[in-house]
């Protein structure tokens, strides 16, 4: 519970500048300073940013989006994951640019404000349920009031309300190898169980954001910058845990498993997206240079079950940012 509370309380200091093309007053407005929740989403900051910059915006319809060093930021990726992925050398405050015009529809899927973010979150929850239970009925059958209460708990960072409502979905965590303790009240096992109700095997929803580089580096400040989403492999994959064998963090990253495109999940039915999959894993020849999850660089020997139980996001996915050095291909 203590680790989960740290995750939910985690925040990133942002310094947000209005793009110069949308400044219509002199002097230009100073940047907005905001403490953004790690588990939140950038479009949810609109209610703070629009009033702040409204007096200088040109006429037109507002469609908020953000960029970092010219790279449009994917709004359905949690803010903390974006920070871990794009700032190898953490930048505090994180300098972002906000736009209210000129939405880059060729790079980002449409976002109609909070409602789009909410349904993206619910779709992720459905996908996680499908991976863990083989169906997403409990999520699809949520009452409207429970759905709203769950979403508001995520928006407001209310862990207690989130745990109470999400427990009805019966999307459980795995037994923690590190402590060998499992609370039947707060951690009901999923997958196969023995007579004592303890987990034998389970499938964990994982999202890998893999950035491959060919050049070597020793310091994070020398790490090449991400200037295009084409350089990021965005992989959804279930990791299967067998209680008898145990899995450490590095094993989990390299186990071959299924790939599900996140963009497709947003647009298509969860089951169809899950059934059309391809084998995918981090190659054994690749050298893992950096791993970040919830702002932490975990040791590779940490039991994977501890990482799952303590560092997953509210959508029940474990979001892991990985930088790997891959062997250079010979041109001959």
Judge whether 279 and 256 are in contact, CB under 8 Å: yes
Tokens coding 301: 């020997």
Tokens coding 49: 């940013």
CA 45, CA 36: separation in Å to the nearest integer?
Answer: 8
300 and 210 within one domain: yes
CA 326 to each of CA 18, 283, 286, 297: distance values in angstroms, whole numbers, following the listed order: 38, 9, 5, 20
220 and 138 within one domain: no
pLDDT in tens, 43-67: 999 999 999 999 999 988 889 999 9
Location of structure tokens 């994180």: 94
154 and 47 within one domain: no
E-only strand ranges, the chain: 11-18, 32-37, 65-68, 71-72, 94-99, 201-213, 232-242, 257-259, 278-280, 287-292, 318-325
pLDDT score, position 18? 97
pLDDT score, position 248? 67
Residues of the chain with pLDDT under 70: 172-201, 242-251, 254-284, 329-332
pLDDT score, position 181? 35
58 and 86 within one domain: yes
Domain that holds residue 52: 1-99
**Where among 99, 123, 156 does a domain terminate?**
99
| CATH code (residue 15) | 3.10.20.620
Stated pTM of the model: 0.84
Number of domains within the chain: 3
From 234, 275, 277, select the one nearest 259 (Cα to Cα): 277
- H runs (alpha helix) in 174-325: 249-254, 262-267, 270-275, 304-311
pLDDT in tens, 111-139: 999 999 999 999 999 999 999 988 999 99
Location of structure tokens 């996140």: 262
CA 65, CA 22: separation in Å to the nearest integer?
Answer: 13
249 and 143 within one domain: no
| CATH code (residue 141) | 1.10.246.190
66 and 13 within one domain: yes
pLDDT score, position 137? 93
157 and 124 within one domain: yes
Give the neighbor-by-neighbor strand order of the sheet with 94-99. Answer: 32-37, 11-18, 94-99, 65-68, 71-72
pLDDT score, position 173? 59
**Where among 52, 70, 99 does a domain terminate?**
99
pLDDT score, position 114? 96
121 and 84 within one domain: no
Q: List Cβ neighbours of 124 (8 Å cut-off, separation of 6 or more).
A: 265, 315, 316, 317
Has residue 183 been placed in a domain? no
Has residue 118 been placed in a domain? yes
Q: List Cβ neighbours of 63 (8 Å cut-off, separation of 6 or more).
A: 100, 101, 103, 111
Has residue 106 been placed in a domain? no
CA 61 to each of CA 55, 64, 102: distance values in angstroms, whole numbers, following the listed order: 14, 10, 10
pLDDT score, position 286? 79
pLDDT score, position 262? 35
Q: How many CB atoms lie within 10 A of CB 114?
A: 15
312 and 217 within one domain: yes
């Amino acid at each position: 519970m203590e680790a989960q509370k740290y995750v939910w309380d985690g925040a990133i200091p942002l310094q947000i500048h209005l793009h110069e093309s949308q400044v219509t007053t002199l002097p230009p407005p100073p940047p907005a300073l905001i403490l953004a929740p790690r588990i939140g989403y950038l479009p949810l900051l609109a209610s703070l940013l629009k009033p702040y910059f409204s007096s200088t915006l040109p006429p037109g319809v507002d469609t908020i989006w953000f960029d970092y060093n010219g790279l449009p930021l994917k709004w359905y990726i949690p803010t903390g994951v974006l920070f871990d992925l794009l700032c190898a050398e953490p930048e505090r405050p994180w300098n972002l640019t906000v736009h209210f015009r000129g939405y880059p529809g060729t790079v980002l899927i449409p976002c109609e404000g909070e409602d789009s973010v909410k349904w993206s979150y619910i779709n992720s929850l459905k996908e996680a349920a499908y991976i863990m239970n083989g169906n997403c009925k409990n999520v699809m059958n949520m009452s409207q009031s429970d759905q709203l209460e769950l979403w508001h708990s995520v928006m407001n960072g209310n862990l207690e309300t989130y745990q109470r409502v999400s427990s009805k979905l019966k999307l459980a965590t795995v037994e923690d190898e590190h402590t060998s303790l499992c609370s039947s009240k707060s951690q009901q096992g999923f997958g196969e169980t023995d007579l004592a109700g303890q987990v034998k095997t389970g499938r964990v929803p994982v999202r890998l954001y893999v950035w491959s580089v060919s050049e070597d580096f020793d310091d994070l400040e020398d790490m090449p910058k991400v200037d295009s989403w084409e350089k990021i492999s965005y992989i959804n994959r279930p990791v299967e845990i067998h209680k008898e064998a145990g899995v450490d963090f590095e094993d989990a990253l390299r186990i071959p498993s299924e790939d599900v495109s996140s963009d497709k999940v947003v647009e298509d039915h969860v089951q169809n997206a899950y059934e059309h999959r391809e084998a995918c894993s981090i190659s054994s020849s690749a050298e893992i240079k950096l791993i970040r999850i919830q702002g932490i660089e975990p040791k590779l020997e940490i039991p994977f079950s501890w990482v799952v139980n303590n560092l997953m996001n509210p959508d029940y996915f474990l979001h892991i940012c990985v930088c790997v050095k891959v062997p250079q291909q010979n041109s001959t």
